[in-house]
Chain A
Amino acid sequence: MDMSHPVKLPLSLESLPHRQVATVAAIDWAHLSTPEARRLRELGFDEGVGIEVLHRASLGRGPIACRIGRMTVALRRAVAGAIFVSPVTH
């Protein structure tokens, strides 16, 4: 395996580690319903915006709470799975 060119797997918001600061890399709009997509845009989800997972409800498959810009937003995991992020490394 060539380690100098690691395959960059797209990381979704759903699997972003807790409290890891990231930016929105891409949003898979095709995987979202029209109302979901619109709401997401209205809440300020856009490429390049800072994002971080703050809380996850129930150990199972409950919604997650994330910080987007200066706001805290709750969304379901299915939606979080359509949001791809790139972690900010210091």
Chain B
Amino acid sequence: MTTATPLVALVGNPNAGKSALFNALTGARQKVGNYPGVTVERHSGRLALPDGRVVDLVDLPGAYSLDPSSPDERVTRDVVTGTQTGERLPDALVVVVDASNLDNHLRFTLQLIALGLPVVVALNMFDLAERDGLTLDPKKLSEELGVPVVPTVAVRRRGLEELKTLLGGIVDADAAIRLRPSNHAIGEDIVTLQRRARKIATAATVAEAPARRWGHAFDSVALHPVFGLVLLFVILFAMFQAVFFAGAAPADAIAAGFDWISGRVKDVMPDSVLRSLITDGMIAGVGAVVKFLPQILIMFFFILVLEASGYMVRAAFLMDRVMASVGLSGRAFIPLLSSFACAVPGIMSTRTIEDEKDRLTTILVAPLMTCSARLPVYTLVIGALIPNIKVLPFVGLQGLVMLGLYIMGVVGAFVVALVLRRTVTKGESSGFMMEMPKYQMPRLRDLAIGLWSRAEAFLKRAGTTIAFTTIVLWALLSFPKPPEGSPVSPVNYSVAGRIANAIEPAFRPIGFNRDIVLALIPAMAAREVAVAALGTVYAIDSASDQDEAKMAQTLHARWSLPTALAFLMWFVFAPQCISTIAVTRRETNGWTWPAFMVGYLFALAYIAAGAVYWAAIGLGL
């Protein structure tokens, strides 16, 4: 007999309010992990019952039935049937249903009850049912279903005590040996179940005003072919303004903070390899990535608000037509858009895409969106080599080239998506079919919890994979040291310098000189590192304004225009970002897809840079 804490699982349709209920029940005492072998998050926490016992609570992914159509739904089925690795069979289920949509939610409830585990039904969103003019009889529902039913309003913490009391009644400490759940309702035809569910819902409904069109008036604008797009554009504009402007100051502050720490370490430690490892390797490397945290959090704040308010599905609705033309679904729009700030939150937010192949395609093309880390590189090279002339009144050539680079990224992503959808991610699309949730005021508390778990995931990655790789890059650039008095600079003498020498011939055909190749090596960590790396290669030290001007002059003197254009093209495509590769590994569970992504992006970068280089030469530029 085991004395383990009983396990209770929250389960129900998507949008029933499971997570809200989970947050209300466990508060901050929760952990976010992953189910082994799949990219499905496992949210767990502890809950004290009124009788003093403690139970483990898990928030299972939303599902419509026990017949899974996504990895998330498969986890839900496997947990409640006791076949999920890394999770024991729950001792009881809290089935969460949306009281304002009983017809649909009771079907899954019937399937779950038939499993034979102790069940209590949380008749959640009771407030919304009232708002919609529905009068429900929980007692009658309980009789019909044969399990206890308690009305709850998760977001107002109503009904929680009663729920806990009922839970105490069904969680049996001595039931360690129990029958495996029976499966008979899984086989029951979904249509039959649905009809049975509708009958029960009707029986439990005392009075029903015709569905009041809450939110429909707003939808007439939000989903309007013209006004809807205008509204979407305004929201996105606000989002990007916030990311780029509100995010800049904290990002600078974080960078300054890391510089300060690095300076302190330099004060107290004598110059040594160890000091260089700590300051130039670890602190600088982690700092370069953590610096993006404010922008990522602002981005996620918007994404979470859009998601929680119910607007996200509307945005997907508006954009579905465009996305469908390249074989994606409307759901891919927001992740791809977020990738204009940074591919990391973009890729993390693809979790809302149900179809596995849609999601994979979206992840694979996300790095083609012009992220903010490319801007410093574009700015430097364009400023140095593209003439500052006006091609039309108010239209400068430099700005035009910059716009061209952005467009190139988008067109590239669309073409690649089209090709992938016909080759490696081929498959029957599950299309675009989804419930449009009711509009809701997002709750601050849920937003805070959501933001916190994202920040934690990001920082953990910065602290592990990314720190490790930046240290490796640092080592490549620092060793071996040139002998005393050698005329060769340390960078050129290092392993990285030698690698650059070795691979330079491969890059000569696309117009890259050895200096560029050398700068690209540390820029594998993050694209904007290329600017500092070029500085190091050309022996220009810190990055004050004066040095930036000097840098531009240096590039102007040493690079031809075709070389500069080829370099820009390289940065449109090349996967020069360890964070992106790391997050792709995490989100696709393995190295296959990140390896594929890196491979195809490098190939594209090489071809595009070469094509532009030779075209420019041919045009006599």
Shortest distance between the CB of B331 and any CB in chain A (Å)? 11
Q: Please tell me which one of the listed residues B101, B330, B430, B436 contacts residue A36 in the complex, with CB atoms under 8 A apart.
A: B430
A61: B residues at CB distance < 8 A: 321
B428: A residues at CB distance < 8 A: 33-35
Scan B416-434; emit 1 where CB is below 8 A from any A CB, else 0. 0000000000001111111
Given A74-B433, A74-B434, A63:B194 Cβ within 8 A = no
Q: Please tell me which one of the listed residues B69, B195, B430 contacts residue A46 in the complex, with CB atoms under 8 A apart.
A: B195
Contact of A59 with B225 in the complex, beta carbons under 8 Å: yes
Contact of B225 with A39 in the complex, beta carbons under 8 Å: no
Q: How many residues of A contact B (CB 8 A)?
A: 34
Contact of A74 with B436 in the complex, beta carbons under 8 Å: yes
A15: B residues at CB distance < 8 A: none
Given A42-B64, A46-B194, A55-B223, A70:B433 Cβ within 8 A = no
Q: Is the CB of A40 closer than 8 A to any CB of chain B?
A: yes
Scan B291-320; emit 1 where CB is below 8 A from any A CB, else 0. 000000000000000000000010011101
> Which residues of B571-611 are within 8 A (CB) of A?
none
A55: B residues at CB distance < 8 A: 219-220, 223-224
Q: Is the CB of B170 closer than 8 A to any CB of chain A?
A: no
A67: B residues at CB distance < 8 A: 211
> Which residues of B147-173 are within 8 A (CB) of A?
none
Shortest distance between the CB of B528 and any CB in chain A (Å)? 38
> Which residues of A49-84 are within 8 A (CB) of B?
54-63, 65, 67, 69-76, 78-79
For B107, B330, B433, which residue has the most chain A Cβ atoms within 10 angstroms? B433
What is the CA–CA distance of A29 and B67 in the complex, to the nearest angstrom?
18
Given A42-B190, A70-B101, A71-B101, A57:B225 Cβ within 8 A = yes
A34: B residues at CB distance < 8 A: 428
Contact of A63 with B330 in the complex, beta carbons under 8 Å: yes
A40: B residues at CB distance < 8 A: 433
B101: A residues at CB distance < 8 A: 69-71
Contact of A54 with B435 in the complex, beta carbons under 8 Å: no
B433: A residues at CB distance < 8 A: 36, 39-40, 43, 73-76, 79
Scan A3-34; emit 1 where CB is below 8 A from any B CB, else 0. 00000000000000000000000000000011
Contact of B103 with A69 in the complex, beta carbons under 8 Å: yes
Q: Please tell me which one of the listed residues A38, A58, A63 contacts residue B67 in the complex, with CB atoms under 8 A apart.
A: A38
Q: Is the CB of B84 closer than 8 A to any CB of chain A?
A: no
Shortest distance between the CB of B205 and any CB in chain A (Å)? 11
Given A44-B194, A46-B191, A69-B104, A39:B69 Cβ within 8 A = yes
Given A41-B190, A67-B211, A72-B435, A57:B313 Cβ within 8 A = no
Contact of A43 with B435 in the complex, beta carbons under 8 Å: yes
Q: Is the CB of B78 closer than 8 A to any CB of chain A?
A: no
A69: B residues at CB distance < 8 A: 101, 103-104
A62: B residues at CB distance < 8 A: 225, 317-318, 320-321
Shortest distance between the CB of B297 and any CB in chain A (Å)? 30
What is the CA–CA distance of A34 and B321 in the complex, to the nearest angstrom?
22
Q: Is the CB of B65 closer than 8 A to any CB of chain A?
A: yes
Q: Which residue of A lies closest to B101 (CB)?
A: A70
What is the CA–CA distance of A56 and B433 in the complex, to the nearest angstrom?
14
> 6 A-B contacts, Cβ less than 8 Å apart?
A35-B69, A62-B318, A62-B320, A70-B100, A70-B101, A74-B320
With A46-B194, A57-B317 known, 10 other A-B pairs at CB within 8 A are: A36-B430, A42-B65, A42-B107, A44-B103, A54-B216, A62-B321, A65-B223, A70-B104, A75-B431, A76-B324
User: What is A's interface to B at a CB cutoff of 8 Å?
Assistant: 33-36, 38-44, 46, 54-63, 65, 67, 69-76, 78-79
8 interchain residue pairs of minimum CB distance: A42-B64, A35-B430, A62-B321, A55-B223, A72-B436, A75-B433, A44-B104, A58-B225
